[in-house]
Structure 1
Amino acid sequence: MPDPANRSPKAEQTRQNIVDAAMRLFRSKGYDKTTMRSIAADAGVSLGNAYYYFGSKEHLVQAFYDQLQAEHATAAGQVLERETAFDQRLRGVLTAWLDVAEPHHEFAGQFFRNAADPSSPLSPFSPESAPARDASIALFEQLLEGSNAKPVAALRADLPELLWLLQMGLVLFWVYDESPHQRRSRQLVAALVPIVDRLVKLSRLPVVRGLVDDVVGLLRTLRS
């Protein structure tokens, strides 16, 4: 696949046409029934050209992840520009994800169900998902950096990743949320944010620091 830095405007447009064709077919036919050949035909390119830009359907889904992450960062940025309170920033960022993901709920759930397989390249923990994962964690770092939160030092470095894991839990809930406009997912955000806000504030109390150390230690163990 060509290096993004070396793509010409024409190549970038061809790549986007392939992504757009894939998204149309995933919506109309479903992920499993869509082939690379049908994607190439819909995009008006040869099968070889489609494979030149994307080695598999999974790579196309990764492009969707990246695109969704970029949309989320833009929407969340509007919240982060105007809010300084940690709870309002967190609620705004999580709600922004629900907003940008809502139009894709019907078919994106197929991707996330496949992503539940830990060996799948679509897993949010896979090497293939690293760019979208790192960008999302960076967004939570930005959320924390500009907020009024003052977590204990032992928690500060790992809090952005813990917030990303919280979002992954929200994504799983959202996938199975059949309420209108995923109303229950929004209610979950409204209920979770005050709890997280209190936990971050309580992390500075000596009596809670042992629990904080245990949580951080568990996260670092899982990373290794």
Structure 2
Amino acid sequence: MAEPATPDMSTGPDRASERGEQTKRLIVDTAVRLFRDQGYDKTTMRGIAQAAGLSVGNAYYYFPSKDHLVQEFYATVQVDAAAACAARLARPGPFDERLRVAFGAMVETTAPYHAFAGKFIKTAVEPGSPLSPFSTESAPARERSIGILRDVVEGSTTKIDPELRADLPELLWLCQMGITLYWVHDTSPGQEKTALLVDRAVPLIDRLVSLARMPGLRSLNREALKLYRMLR
């Protein structure tokens, strides 16, 4: 419990920054473990600090509340997912291949947290919860996730209907949320059914994107997009 309430600057700003990032990651990792073991509601900032070997003041210095801590967890997952697929999305390629990379990276990155997700989902899906992926508080992490899918679209060599292109990253994110919800409830070994879902869903999405360019379906596509824009 000897950690100071603020970062130690005695070794210079670079070292202090590095220590600060290490401490933040320690707090997040500890919190995720406690959320998994005892549930979100029963986990306190004091308990997180004690389990991490930090002072309560130090924990609150980095995260004013549990909600802030969860938002940092969201951000960490998105940063890791972006890093996991950055190299494979660096060069242009077919839409379906790029989408498979992005969806696969998200499933791969969240895999270590599957046991925790089942207990956490009750709080995250509650209407009005700041922990919902649709909340205002979750906007930074949500935008990072959509940003990955925007890279998928922008680097695609597959022709995409111009009007659909603007909304497609967010529509893909909604698909990803559906996959994530299925993943949370997937009890198959290693969540192999979620892998199957991604494997089969990507060609279907690719086909729908291609169909949106067909003259006979453009009017239907326009109406669907109009409804989506009204409801979002």
Aligned equivalent of 1:94: 103
The 1:103/1:83 distance shift into structure 2, 3 A limit, reads farther
Q: CA deviation at 1:83?
A: 6.4
Question: Does residue 188 of structure 1 match 2:197?
Answer: yes
Question: Does residue 14 of structure 1 match 2:23?
Answer: yes
Q: SS of the counterpart of 2:174?
A: helix
Tell me, in whole angstroms, the C-alpha distance in 2 between the residues paired with 1:10 and 1:188.
40
Aligned equivalent of 1:34: 43
Amino acid at match of 1:60: L
Amino acid at match of 1:50: A
Q: CA deviation at 1:96?
A: 1.4
Q: Give CA deviations for 1:126-161 in whole Å, capped at 9, x if unaligned.
A: 011001100111111101111112211111100010
Native 8 Å contact 1:79 1:93 kept in 2: no
Higher Cα Rg, which structure: 2
Tell me, in whole angstroms, the C-alpha distance in 2 between the residues paired with 1:109 and 1:64.
16
Describe how 1:1-224 pairs up with structure 2 within 5 A: 8-81=17-90, 84-223=93-232
Native 8 Å contact 1:202 1:208 kept in 2: yes
State the identity %. 53
Tell me, in whole angstroms, the C-alpha distance in 1 between the residues paired with 2:150 and 2:211.
20
Aligned equivalent of 2:13: none
Native 8 Å contact 1:111 1:122 kept in 2: no
Native 8 Å contact 2:39 2:120 kept in 1: no
Native 8 Å contact 2:45 2:59 kept in 1: yes
Amino acid at match of 1:135: R
Q: How does the TM-score come out when normalised to structure 1?
A: 0.90
Q: How does the TM-score come out when normalised to structure 2?
A: 0.87
Tell me, in whole angstroms, the C-alpha distance in 1 between the residues paired with 2:158 and 2:119.
36
Amino acid at match of 2:55: S
List 4+ stretches of structure 1 deviating above 6 A: none
